[in-house]
Structure 1
Amino acid sequence: MPRTKEQFEEMRNATREKIHSAAMQLFVHRGFGSTTVQDIADTAGISVGLLYRHFKTKDQLFNELVAFAMEGLERNIRFFESDQSPAKLLVQFVDEIYTDMINGEELAHLLILINQSLLAGAAADSKQNEEILQVNFRLLDSTTQLIRKGQQLGEFRPGDAKEMAFLFYGSIHGLAQMKVLLKSSFVMPSPSTLTAFLLKERK
């Protein structure tokens, strides 16, 4: 029986996911420049020809992965700009980070991939790099505003909100690097440890 259109679409999506996963793993561990299209195809368990049917170039594949990471940052910005309690929003955000970090490598890989794109100039798309910078600045700004609001409500500790936002994301990015480097020896700090310098202790 011939496959239906839906079955072909499922197969296509499954192949793209294999390519995404393989490419992300190789870009993070070997670097963009040291990873070949053949390496990606071999790791994904497909032929180079099939890979090229989905992505014309390695740069296109890299840029799509970075765009996926940027979508996640955009979601975080919208999340922090909601009207809920700043403390509740931060706790929920950190709980999700904690769960993602202990259950897999995707979050760590995405964070490192964004850094590679900016620091090493891995992607040829300079416009995309500028967009990444702008999204990061907006995320830092929305987090700073969240911390200020939390301080005004008495939920967060006093201090320079912008400095606290930088420390917060610096910790997360640093943990992502450590997870990839230390592998099974990595220990993810608990959500309460990650938020200890921000949230006031409840009496």
Structure 2
Amino acid sequence: MPRTKEQYEEMRKATREKIHSAAMRLFVHQGFGSTNVQNIADAAGISIGLLYRHYRTKEHLFRDLVAYSVEGLNRNIAAFETDQSPKKVIVQFVDEVYNDFMNGEELANLLILIKQSLLGSGTAANQHDEVLKINARLLDATAELIRKGQQTGEFRSGDAHEMAIYLYASIQGLAEMRVLLKSNFTMPSPSVLTAFLFKEKE
């Protein structure tokens, strides 16, 4: 019995997910320059011909992964720009980071991939500029959220921009330690990650 259009689409989607997962892992662990398309096909468990049906080059694949990462950053910006309680928004964000780090390397790999894209690995100039702008917007949105939390008395006083940088520097550092230490990695609790930000209950 021939496959339906929907079944073909499901198979195509499953193959792309295998390629994405394998490529992200290899780009992070081996570096963009040391990874070739045969490595990616082997790690994904597919033929190199099938990989080429999805991506013409590893640069094309890398740019697709960066675009996927940018979508995630845009979702964070949208969440930070809502009218919800600043503390609630930050708690939810940090809880998601904590759970993702505890359950695997995907978020850590995505964060490292974004860093690689900013350092020039496989990224087209226009995409590099887009990633820089998105990162700046995320930092501004976070700093503004922190200012609101300071005004409501939930957050500690201090320079909101510096505090936003500290938050992301901590998460980026943890991403790299998550990948390097593997099973020896211990993820700090959400309360440790936000201790510099939230006022202690009196």
Question: Does TM, scored on the shorter chain, surpass 0.5?
Answer: yes
Q: Partners in 2 of 1:3 and 1:91 — Cα distance? A: 45
Q: Partners in 2 of 1:50 and 1:85 — Cα distance? A: 48
Structure 2 unaligned residues grouped into runs of 5+: none
What is the CA distance between 1:124 and its match in structure 2?
A: 4.0
What is the CA distance between 1:202 and its match in structure 2?
A: 1.8
2:148 corresponding residue in structure 1: 149
CA distance 1:159–1:124, change in 2 (3 Å): closer
What is the CA distance between 1:201 and its match in structure 2?
A: 1.2
Q: Deviations over 1:52-71 (max 9, x none)?
A: 00001110000000000000
Residue pair 2:24, 2:109 contacting (<8 A) in 1 also: yes
Q: Partners in 2 of 1:201 and 1:74 — Cα distance? A: 31
- Provide the alpha-carbon RMSD of the alignment: 0.6
Structure 1 unaligned residues grouped into runs of 5+: none
2:71 corresponding residue in structure 1: 71
- Give the alignment of 1:31-180 within 5 angstroms: 31-119=31-119, 121-180=120-179
Give the structure-1-normalised TM-score: 0.98
Q: Partners in 1 of 2:45 and 2:83 — Cα distance? A: 46
Q: Partners in 2 of 1:68 and 1:172 — Cα distance? A: 19
- Give the alignment of 1:21-36 within 5 angstroms: 21-36=21-36
SS at match of 2:195: coil
Sequence identity, in percent?
70
Residue pair 2:62, 2:123 contacting (<8 A) in 1 also: no
Give the structure-2-normalised TM-score: 0.99
Q: Deviations over 1:81-138 (max 9, x none)?
A: 000110011001100100000001110000000001111x112411000000000000
